[in-house]
Amino acid sequence: MNYDNLDPKKIEATKRLVQGSLGQEAAKFPIMFAAALFFARPPRMGVELALNNGTISFLELEHRQIGITCFHVLEAYRQKREQDSTVDCYLGLLSLDLVPRLIDQDPELDIVTLDLSGLNLKHVSDHPQISSAFFCPAVWPCTEVQEGDFVAFGGFPRLFRVLLNFRDLVFGSFSYAGCRVASVREEHIVCQFEREDLLPPVSLISPIKALPGAGQLDLGGLSGGPVFILRQLHWEFVGIIYQYSIDYELLYIRPAKFIGTDGRINRTAM
């Protein structure tokens, strides 16, 4: 994309926003509506804990509470479970088998929707700065996102998780409030980090003091994380992250338009 065609005043205004305290608070917003989604065998002393994790996003659509994550995350859990029936799945601190809660899935779009009705998200996290809730959108799906817009995203990459001992695990969050939209296509949106212009991402409970250099930042585990855009009076849910390019530091986002208000996946939205 040629950024020379963008409004320089808009770019400078966004930079000022994200570089201030308001921008830091805005970066924490996506984490309010997400949790670490991981699965592993029950911990045993003297045995290394082998686990996989992604991120799950929480939405309330037409009074139905749903979770959204990537198909490849749920499929990895199902395969592990088939190989070992002792493998458990967790949303943060909450043990939960996702398979019976499946609403819909699409391997090509890499989306899974889950019925989380009746789930008490207060049990997901015990950290004072990470409190999970269901996001209730004012508009569904999100109004059109354009190249040059700035979005906020969040999630729980494995790079930011800490194993305290054989059974205690802490997931640090990773979120960002000023990620510029580089490309918009029918089936996906692409965003790119621009470290030289914007503040580093916000991280809570993280062992990482400085981000790895360009081409070394592995954000595996961010899949399923929510992406938002701030309109004049409200936030809108743009979609979920489904892929990340380490070499080019690109985020690939699956737009919310593929998800109906009943949680069903609609491929005809392309």
**Is 1 part of any domain?**
no
Length of the chain: 270
The pLDDT of residue 12: 66
Instruction: Write out the two tokens for 270.
Output: 């392309």
Domain annotation covers residue 58: yes
Q: How many CB atoms lie within 10 A of CB 244?
A: 20
221: domain CATH number is 2.40.10.120
The pLDDT tens digits of the residues spanning 92-141 come to 888 888 999 999 999 999 999 999 998 888 878 766 556 679 999 999 99
- pLDDT given for residue 27 in this prediction: 82
Tokens of 14: 């966004």
The reply to whether 2 falls in a domain is no
Q: What is the DSSP string of 213-224?
A: PTT----TT-TT
pTM: 0.88
Could you tell me if residue 264 is inside a domain? no
Structure-block tokens of residue 225: 């994380």
Q: Is 269 a member of any domain? A: no
Q: Give the number of domains in the chain.
A: 1
Non-local CB neighbours of 229 within 8 Å, separated by 6+ positions: 142, 145, 149, 150, 151, 152, 235, 236, 238
- Whether 135 maps to a domain, the answer reads yes
Quick one: pLDDT at residue 240?
A: 98
Q: Band of the pLDDT at 236, cuts 50, 70, 90?
A: very high
- Note whether 111 and 68 are within 8 A (CB): yes
Residue 197 within a domain: yes
DSSP string for 181-215? EEEE-SS-EEEE--TTTSPPPB-SS-S-SSPPPTT
The domain of 182 spans: 7-41+50-259
Whether residue 270 lies inside any domain: the answer is no
For residue 55, count other CB atoms closer than 10 A to its CB.
Answer: 31
